[in-house]
Structure 1
Amino acid sequence: MSADRSIYLKNHQLLLQLMERLGIASLSELSQRSGIAELQLIRLQYGLMPKMPIEILLKLSQTLQVPVDKLLTLFCPEDLQPSDLKQEDDSATRDALRQEYQRLQQQLEQQRETIAREFQQASLQRLEPWLLQWPTAASVAQQNPQLPAVKLLPLMKPILDLLESWAVEAIASVGDKVPYDPRWHQLMEGSAEPGEMVKVRYVGYRQGEKLLYRAKVSPAKEVEETGD
């Protein structure tokens, strides 16, 4: 049996054992899970791991749940095993792998944060009609407990908890009289100077210091005159 064939059979069996432990049935499935081309997995089985890019080793390590240094020990040809390398070279290789791993981990974390922000923004856009209309409807229901709608109020708690977990908070409450601030308030009618009292008609929202929707307000004097 040729040396190449012997290396292939040994590495092929090792890879199958690692895949079986995770319920991975084929190279094709391993390729899909890891994002590694099947050709690279075949090269691995022929003992070409030392020539594979570090990023591929890291992906394989994460998918198979095996540390990179152990993968090197398992799949490198015997003449390139870390125990046979110079200590300083081995240390430099491990440091390079560790630094690259940390860089990719940071990159992955940044991608996760970006995806989370995009998901929140998309969700807030879908919730916009409810965000703008529900507080006013809830205020009417609370003022008249005889209305059947009051029974629906507890059903909204999960949505309110979700918004709280995203640091989304209401700009005042319906009926509140607050100093007019054009940064956070939108006049529905009339006019008002900054600092003049206005009454909140529809709640606005912000996420930290980021404005999502301005609270819709009316001049307090005009509201008192019309009795709204």
Structure 2
Amino acid sequence: MTETVLLDRRDEIAVLTLNRPEKLNAWTHAMRERLIGHLRELDEDPACRGVVLTGAGRAFCAGQDLAETAAIRPDDHAAAEAWIDDFDRLYRAVREMRKPTVAAVNGVVAGSGFQYALVADLRIGHAGVTMGQPEVASGIPSITGIWAMWDILGRAKTAEFALTAQLVDGVEAHRLGLLTRLVPENEVLDAAVAQARAIAELPPGAVALTKARLRELDDEALAQAVTAAKKIHAAAYATGEPQREMARFLAGKQN
């Protein structure tokens, strides 16, 4: 079986790669569990000084594999809530790293994959990236997405992204602050590793304490977003609309 999350070492920097390129690295519960395990282990590993997050092939991560969530029954509130808990645990695993995290953003970055990129400390991408929050187009309310975008984009742009399902290219993403830096496409991964290494060379205690304070500033907002997402997603799935829209999308891909 193909490993869906790859771990590579570049000296003191670990590179975690989502590895379902044929699905644009759309992830499943099992992938998130594997990724969380790697992140926890790397945070405790003294040989690791920083982590780079990326994706194989033409995408960083296209978000949730809709074939998995389309099967949630309208009356299965527990499944809808467990799905949100998955992402809460993943985002916290990235945010709670004491070591620097840098997203090497390539290709498509959408939905929960977009949110995953935004919880990294820094994001390096290229002009051809397409980033956004198209969840409403699949009948999925954008709740944790609002939280992830808010401090970067502010209310007006967050509302625009969440309600229009638009995607922007790397140049616009950089202008808006969604990307920290733009480099040529073939240099993205190396630049992200170099950035992680540069931060890792700074005094680690100061880096860890600074990261902790940055996390503290919006930790309560994340907790509130997760609570709201559980309630709102359960209500959305109860109507059957997400399941219908996801089934329509999947049927279109097969034709």
Bigger Rg over Cα: 1
Task: For CA contacts below 8 A with separation 6 or more, give which structure has more relative contact order.
Answer: 2
Please confirm whether the aligned pair reaches a TM-score higher than 0.5, indicating the same fold.
Answer: no
**Superposition TM-score, scaled by structure 2 size:** 0.22
**Superposition TM-score, scaled by structure 1 size:** 0.24
Q: Whose helix proportion is higher, 1 or 2? A: 1
